[in-house]
Amino acid sequence: MSTVFMFSGQGSQYYQMGQDLYQQEPAFRDYFEHLDSLIRRIAGISVIENLYHSNKSIAEPLDDLVLSSLAICMLQLATVKMLRDKGVEPDKLLSSSFGTFVAMVVANCIDEEEALGIFYEHGCVFRRHSEPGAMLVVLSAEDLYYGNAFLSSQSELAGVNFDSSFVISFPEKNTAEIKNTLKSLGCAYQLMPIPRAFHSPWIDDAKKAFFNLYSALSFREPSIPITCTSGQDIDAGLNAQMLWQAVRGPMNFDKTVRELEKCGPHQYIDVGSAGTLATFLKYILPSDGLSEGFPINTPYGRGIENLDRITFKVRS
């Protein structure tokens, strides 16, 4: 059975994320602190101070674009380091949106210190050059989007999570009307803590600055295959256009997983901040199949017990 590490992007981040691993797993803590020291030197920001020592609760939205980008990157990299120290190695990497940039570090396309500096600038690019926007998860089939003239004209279908969950992006000014429309349709939804409308035309003003940032870099060929939910494999031809597609093109987690499953069963390990992708798998994988999904980081530390299960499976 192949092991797939899954990397999520913006949306599921929160204050205090990863604190259980930080307190209980030395490999995670040491590497997280190492990365924090690098970003303090690069940008004068301490992610640890902001995440764990700012008196912010889990319920408060972590919607600072620069801080959240760095926190997502550091948490996922530290989770991978911890898993590798336990003998768990990935055969494949599955990435969604900004998670693609983190997967590139794990696949040795770019060094960690250079990556942190770029991720800091990456957040600044979208904060400076794209208009305020929002992203929202809708608990319904995507037919609802195409069947509603207001939604399809005032928002963009940013992604499909599974057959009864999709994501839309839109300008911030449309938020109230879109929420009211969904309420009138009787649809459950959740506004994500993302201040820009990724995967939509409303970030196109940032394209030039994005290309300037990434075109100057030289990427190595991935040492581990990376499959992106935007419908592409990140390969030896890695360039700014491919990376732009990861944040601008639509995501389809459902379709991507179903394609991977054609190659046989997998052990999917969600290294993201909230176990969101592992949750999606519950609605995609057949209940009688061999494939399984494991969250590691979840609010209130409910994913940490999976470490023993994963390690046992690898050793057996």
State pLDDT tens for residues 248-302.
999 999 999 999 999 999 999 999 999 999 999 999 999 899 999 999 998 876 6
230 is catalytic: no
Q: 218 and 178 share a domain?
A: no
Q: 96 and 219 share a domain?
A: yes
187: CATH: 3.30.70.250
Q: 174 and 308 share a domain?
A: no
Q: 176 and 293 share a domain?
A: no
Q: 283 and 139 share a domain?
A: no
Say yes or no to pLDDT of 144 above 60.
yes
> How many other CB atoms are there within 10 angstroms of residue 89's CB atom?
12
Q: Which of 153, 173, 191 is the last residue of a domain?
A: 191
Say yes or no to pLDDT of 103 above 90.
yes
Q: 155 and 169 share a domain?
A: yes
Q: Which range in 81-85, 230-234, 300-304 is most confidently predicted, on average pLDDT? A: 81-85
- At residue 313, the pLDDT reads 60
3: left (phi over 0), alpha (psi -120 to 50) or beta: beta
Say yes or no to pLDDT of 238 above 60.
yes
Q: 138 and 218 share a domain?
A: no
Of all residues in the chain, the percent with pLDDT exceeding 70 is 97
Give CA–CA dist 261/255, Å, rounded: 10
Q: 169 and 286 share a domain?
A: no
Q: 104 and 235 share a domain?
A: yes
Q: 63 and 210 share a domain?
A: yes
| DSSP codes, 163-204 | TTEEEEEEEGGGHHHHHHHHHHTT--EEE-S-SS--SSGGGG
- At residue 56, the pLDDT reads 86
The boundaries of the domain holding residue 259 are: 2-130+200-315
Of all residues in the chain, the percent with pLDDT exceeding 90 is 82
Mean pLDDT, residues 63-89: 95
For residues 12 and 86, which has the higher predicted lDDT (pLDDT)?
A: 86
User: What angle do the packed helices 240-248 and 207-215 form, to 10 degrees?
Assistant: 140
206: CATH: 3.40.366.10
In angstroms and rounded to an integer, the radius of gyration of the C-alpha atoms of the chain is: 19
**Distances in Å between the alpha carbon of 95 and those of 56, 99, 125, 204, 294?**
28, 5, 21, 22, 15
Say yes or no to pLDDT of 306 above 90.
no
Q: If you average pLDDT over every residue of the chain, what do you get?
A: 93
Question: Of 97, 155, 230, 291, which is the active-site residue?
Answer: 97
**Distances in Å between the alpha carbon of 316 and those of 122, 216, 275, 311?**
41, 45, 24, 9
**What's the sign of the alpha-carbon dihedral 17, 18, 24, 28?**
negative
Q: 109 and 143 share a domain?
A: no
Say yes or no to pLDDT of 315 above 60.
no
**Distances in Å between the alpha carbon of 205 and those of 63, 107, 131, 142, 210?**
20, 30, 8, 27, 9
- pLDDT tens across 30-64, in order? 999 999 999 999 999 999 999 998 888 888 889 99
Q: Which of 191, 211, 238 is the last residue of a domain?
A: 191
Angle at 314 between CA 16 and CA 300, to 5 degrees: 20
- DSSP SS3 for 315: helix
- At residue 54, the pLDDT reads 81
Reported as type and span, the H/E element at residue 134 is strand 133-138
| 163 backbone dihedrals φ, ψ, rounded to 5° | -65, -15
Q: CB neighbours of 57 closer than 8 A, spacing ≥ 6?
A: 15, 16
Q: 54 and 162 share a domain?
A: no
Domain count, the chain: 2
**165-171: strand order across its sheet:** 189-191, 133-138, 165-171, 156-162, 251-252
User: Of 52-61, 109-118, 121-130, where does mean pLDDT reach its minimum?
Assistant: 52-61
